[in-house]
Amino acid sequence: MTDYPTTPCASCKQPVIWTVTDKSKRMPVDAQPTSDGTVALTAAGSQVRSRVVEAKFRFGRKDLHKAHFSSCPQANTWRRR
Ligand SMILES: [Zn+2]
């Protein structure tokens, strides 16, 4: 299911997918979708676009990813950038 390119996180080495948000910001998400994920991915050319899905539309979906900012054990390093 994950046919998006992954790269190891610079901090924790977990595989992440680098995406571009609808605000044109680069955001890494966990490579594996989870049932408590919040981010929908779509391929757009060479980019992967990410969009946060509203809570009411998330129910029952298993294709959503977690922002790696929230799951990375090194999250503090991220936030300081
Ligand atoms: Zn990480």
For the stretch 24-74, pLDDT in tens is 999 999 999 999 999 999 999 889 999 999 999 999 999 999 999 887 987
What is the CA(45)–ligand 1 centre distance, in A?
Answer: 25
What is the CA(70)–ligand 1 centre distance, in A?
Answer: 9
**Spatial distance between the Cα atoms of 2 and 25, rounded to a whole number of angstroms:** 21
What total of structural domains would you count in the chain? 1
What is the CA(5)–ligand 1 centre distance, in A?
Answer: 16
Per-residue tokens: 22? 């609808």
User: Does any domain span residue 80?
Assistant: no
What is the CA(10)–ligand 1 centre distance, in A?
Answer: 6
DSSP, collapsed to helix, strand or coil, labels residue 30 as strand
Q: How confident is the model at residue 79 (pLDDT cuts 50, 70, 90)?
A: low
User: Does any domain span residue 68?
Assistant: yes
Burial 31-69 (b: 16+ CB within 10 A, else e): bebeeebbbbbeeeeeebebeeeeeeeeeeeeebbbbbe
Judge whether residue 81 has pLDDT over 60.
no
Residue range(s) defining the domain that contains residue 29: 7-73
